[in-house]
Amino acid sequence: MRAFLLALSFVALITMSAQATESSLEELSKGSPAETATVKPQAAPPKKQLDVHGIITAAKQGSPVAQYQLGTLLLSGQGVTQNRKLAATWFDRAANQGITDAQWELSKLILDKTVAGGNTAAYKWLLLCSGKNPDRIALRDQVEAALPSELVPIIRRQAVSWRPKAEKLEITAPSTRRAQ
């Protein structure tokens, strides 16, 4: 009997809840002043602040991802003064540590003559970063077609034997002298 009463009260509760929900929906659809006053659009979440200082610090400490990010900021002028040559410097540091997106950006800066290196250097970076990306492959093939045919196998061998190099960091140990 107790279980029956419990089930009956549960059904009654669900029915009352459903009726209340239906009446609330009807009032909202009619634009009831009491209900529309409480429904407010939510503001968009604030944009995350760009930590340019943190990126610069990490880039100087040798982080290849931060070096790539700093190069991107310098290339676009986002949060810093735009400087394509300095962007190329940071892309070069990240590219030498194996960041393929940095290799791609560096190859484009070499090709548009922002920095020296010519088609030979651009081709090497394009060989390393193209992977299966059709845009990168197309540019790589275009640069290859402009190179003397005898250089292509030499650059390909250099690219195959190329390995990323971690930057050597200067770490200074804290002073062990005690104040007297």
Give 138's Cβ-side CA count (13 Å radius): 3
Give the pLDDT confidence score for residue 179 in this predicted structure. Answer: 52
Write the pLDDT tens digit of every residue in 16-28.
Answer: 444 443 444 344 3
What local confidence, expressed as pLDDT, does residue 6 receive?
42
Average pLDDT across the chain, whole number: 79
How high is the pLDDT of residue 91? 97
pTM greater than 0.75: no
Q: Which residues of the chain fall below pLDDT 70?
A: 1-48, 169-180
SS3 90: helix
- Note the pLDDT of residue 36: 38
Alpha carbons 47 and 62: distance in angstroms, whole number: 28
Instruction: Retrieve residue 4's tokens.
Output: 């029956």
Which domains does the chain carry? 52-161 (1.25.40.10)
Identify which of 104, 164, 162, 113 has the alpha carbon closest to the alpha carbon of residue 134.
104
